[in-house]
Amino acid sequence: MSIKVAISIVIIVILAAGIGGFLYYKNTTSDGHMAVYVADAPMLSGVTGVYISFSAVEMHSNTSGWTNYTVPSTTINILGLKTTNASLLTNITLHSGTYTTIRLFINNVKVEVLGSNVTFTLASKFAFINHPFTVSSHSTTGIVIDFNLNQDLNLNSKIFTPSVGFVMN
């Protein structure tokens, strides 16, 4: 093999590695992370536990539409959780950018009232949060989805209607 052929092969390998490295860097730098927490507002008397089972989170951006992120089967007792001690629901890796809406999917709600566990009917399968936020590359954006159990729980009819607030942290 001549020296010219060997040098040409080395140059081609270096260029291919450089292009591959650039494409890898470009694809990985567009991702950010979001930590999703849940909490509640102060609660009605007689309730000693509110166990919500979550199944998924969907994010909407004007550039990519709706994207679904499955949550490992998670049940959280949100009673007494405030924005300062909210429970981590999931960490998501998503493309950096501005998101406008979140849907937090709920499988079921069980409420412990005066020592009895009661399964509530869901008025909606998801909590809907219409609040824009930005996820930046190489950083973690934290949000707290703050349920208002005084409005959410109808103790007489045993219906749960998600009414949530949104807090960036």
Domain spans in the chain, listed from the N-terminal domain onward: 32-168
The string of DSSP letters for 24-49 reads HHHHHHTEEEEEEEEEE----TTEEE
Residues sharing a CB contact under 8 Å with residue 47, sequence separation 6 or more, in sequence order? 79, 111, 112, 113, 149, 153, 155
Q: State the CATH class of domain 32-168.
A: mainly beta
Of 72, 73, 48, 69, nearest in space to 60 by CA:
69
Torsion of CA 49, 53, 56, 58, to 10 degrees: -40
User: Is 0.85 surpassed by the pTM of this model?
Assistant: no
Report the run of H or E that residue 27 belongs to, with start and end: helix 3-29
Report the run of H or E that residue 70 belongs to, with start and end: strand 65-77
Of 54, 58, 93, nearest in space to 73 by CA:
54
Spatial separation of the C-alpha atoms in residues 122 and 157, rounded to whole Å:
11
Q: pLDDT for 111-156, tens place per residue?
A: 998 888 999 999 999 998 888 889 998 889 998 988 888 888 888 8
Q: pLDDT for 21-79, tens place per residue?
A: 656 555 545 788 888 888 876 666 788 899 999 999 999 998 889 999 988 888 999 98
